[in-house]
Amino acid sequence: MTTLRLILGDQLSPSISALEECDPAKDVILMCEVWDEATYVKHHKKKIAFLFSAMRHFARDLTENGYQLDYVKLDDPENSGSLQAEVSRALKRHAIERIVVTFPGEYRLLEEFLRWESLFNLPVEIRPDTRFLCSPDGFANWARGRKQLRMEYFYREMRKHYSVLIEGDQPVGGQWNYDAENRKPPSSGLSIPDPASFAPDDITKEVLKLVAERFADHFGDLEPFAFAVTREDALRVLGRFIAQRLPHFGDYQDAMIEGEPWMFHSHISFYLNSGLLHPMECIKAAERAWHEGRAPLNAVEGFTRQILGWREYIRGIYWLKMPDYGQTNFLEAKHDLPAFYWTANTQMNCLRQCVLETRANAYAHHIQRLMVLGNFALLAGIEPKQVNEWFLIVYADAYEWVELPNVSGMILYADGGLLASKPYAAGGAYINKMSNYCKSCRFKVSKKNGADACPFNYLYWDFLARNRDKLQDNPRIAMMYRSYDRMSEQKHQAIADDARRFFKTL
């Protein structure tokens, strides 16, 4: 039986389930760069270039290993522009008897795949994505009957199941979670290693030219381009992180420094989410570093929690709650996304820095995303669909399965507390503590009200006041409402006036 095996741009792994039992003599592997996938949102130019280059390098490797590749480039004059139409064209080019795909990362693609059997009158096999460590069914089984779906308890089960940082049935060091030790503010004199970077080869140069011509109106800087685009180079990024950054990752994972977008983070989410790295090989590399005394436990546990805990948990929430999850708006937020999320034209230095770095790198680390860019969107009441679209566009590691729960659940509290136990709202004091952004800001973080006050300060209290009916019964923020109630009416009015004035400037 001749099989058409479709590989998507985020499935660039030689062990992907769609390739299992592939017969190189008969089966055809289809990969295609299509306009619809590059533009259903206007992805960052660097994101498109990364994926197209990684796809072409992966296709080259498959060809060199004897597989039959049917690869359709974006500028192929016969390219139809859509995934479904390219499958249809491939069926006409080859005598295909069935189609095999790996479970996709986005609900809209799964819906499309489920239509193909009747559309093409061929059997279509959708195989599990074994690159993840918990299947959607496995997560649903864990979630069944629970009143609260908290990541911490899921993470502990995953640690036990995979025997990661475990002695017997207990965590090494006696604690499951060292997050309390991972919140050091940036200190002076930190020596931050340069990130791994790779000069574009001929394949990547061809892609960069294509993207510059075809996607000129998309957000973001295309060059300089230094991402890894092969598995070999992605492994080098992982190796450099373990050797150079992991020892300090735990201490400073929440820290932000102007002009230092990469900090001590791993920068492997691009490669994990596109298939160039496997999550367990990353976890085991960090665990070995701890066993060998090359990295402290708080750093290794924190890194493990991001992959084995948070990443798997987020994917589980996505598939458990889709398609309705994309429509959630618990706080009824309705403001439009401010233009400065694209232009960086704002006097708030923290936001300006994060947008500029996002535009340059198609990357920002998790505290920049959550506590600066996300925190502002929460406090300002930005409509969730617009925030979700922005995050999906601008980050090279963003796919809907990972972006939507992080934004709607963790950042915006749009799911009403399904994912997070409280809104992650904060005033300017948090940003001042964890960064040096405030030193170069036109606003004064020490001022609470008035034209010179940090907008985060009064927007925080205005957010609580606006959403009191929905939030006041949450025990984790009850103390903040008691603090608000102790303020004078004059103070309440000043908060409301400052917020109203600020919103007019947007």
**β pairing state of 98-102 and 124-127:** parallel
- Cα→Cα distances 37→48, 70, 179, 347, Å: 10, 18, 37, 35
**Please, are residues 245 and 195 in contact by the beta-carbon 8 Å criterion?**
no
**Alpha carbons 304 and 388: distance in angstroms, whole number:** 26
Q: What's residue 99's pLDDT? A: 98
Contact between 428 and 457 (Cβ < 8 Å): yes
pLDDT for 1 beyond 80? no
Average pLDDT over residues 483-491: 97
Query: What is the Cβ-side half-sphere exposure of residue 61, based on CA atoms within 13 angstroms?
Result: 15
Q: Count CA within 13 A, CB hemisphere, residue 309.
A: 23
Percentage of residues of the chain with pLDDT beyond 90: 96
Mean pLDDT for 410-434 is 96
Rounded Cα–Cα distance for residues 134 and 313 (Å): 8
Structure tokens at 397: 């590691």
CA pair distance 146, 150, nearest whole angstrom: 9
Give the residue among 256, 133, 241, 280 at the shortest CA–CA distance from 187.
Answer: 256
- Residue 443: pLDDT band (50, 70, 90) is very high
Contact criterion met (CB below 8 Å) for 459 and 499 = yes
Task: Give the pLDDT band (50/70/90) at residue 196.
Answer: very high
**The predicted structure's pLDDT at residue 244:** 97
In 68-174, DSSP assigns E strands to: 68-72, 98-102, 124-127, 166-167, 170-171
Beta bridge mates, 69:
29
What's at 44, amino acid-wise?
H
Asked whether the beta carbons of 415 and 324 are under 8 A apart, the reply is: no
d(CA 388, CA 295): 35
Per-residue model confidence as pLDDT tens digits over 29-79: 999 999 999 999 999 999 999 999 999 999 999 999 999 999 999 999 999
First to last CA, the chain: 60
Place of tokens 């136990």: 421
Phi–psi pair at 381, nearest 5 degrees: 70, 45
What is the dihedral sign for C-alpha 156, 158, 161, 165?
negative
103, pLDDT greater than 80? yes
Q: How confident is the model at residue 190 (pLDDT cuts 50, 70, 90)?
A: confident
Reported confidence tier of residue 182, pLDDT bands at 50, 70, 90? confident
Where does residue 88 rank: exposed (0-12), middle (13-18), buried (19+ CB within 10 A)?
A: middle
pLDDT of 306 over the 80 cut: yes
pLDDT at 481: 96
The answer to whether the beta carbons of residues 226 and 175 sit under 8 Å apart is: no
Beta strands 170-171; 166-167: pairing state:
antiparallel
How many other C-beta atoms can be found within 10 angstroms of the C-beta atom of residue 146? 10
Pair of tokens at residue 408: 């709607």
Q: 6 has which bridge partners?
A: 30, 101
- Structural domains of the chain sorted by starting position, each given as residue range(s) with its CATH number in brackets: 3-127 (3.40.50.620), 136-200+230-321 (1.25.40.80), 340-505 (1.10.579.10)
Burial class (CB in 10 A: 0-12, 13-18, 19+), 213: exposed
pTM: 0.96
What is the CA 107 to chain-centroid distance, rounded? 16
Q: Looking at the DSSP assignment, which residues form a beta bridge with residue 124?
A: 99
pLDDT at 116 over 90: yes
Of 51-55, 173-177, 207-211, the range with the lowest mean pLDDT is 173-177
Lowest-pLDDT range, 127-141, 169-183, 220-234, 485-499? Answer: 169-183
Mean pLDDT to the nearest integer, 21-31: 96
What pLDDT band is residue 192 in, cutting at 50, 70 and 90? very high
Q: What is the pLDDT of residue 328?
A: 97
pLDDT 10s digits, 307-319: 999 999 999 999 9
For residues 270-275, give the mean pLDDT: 98
Report the mean per-residue pLDDT for the chain: 96
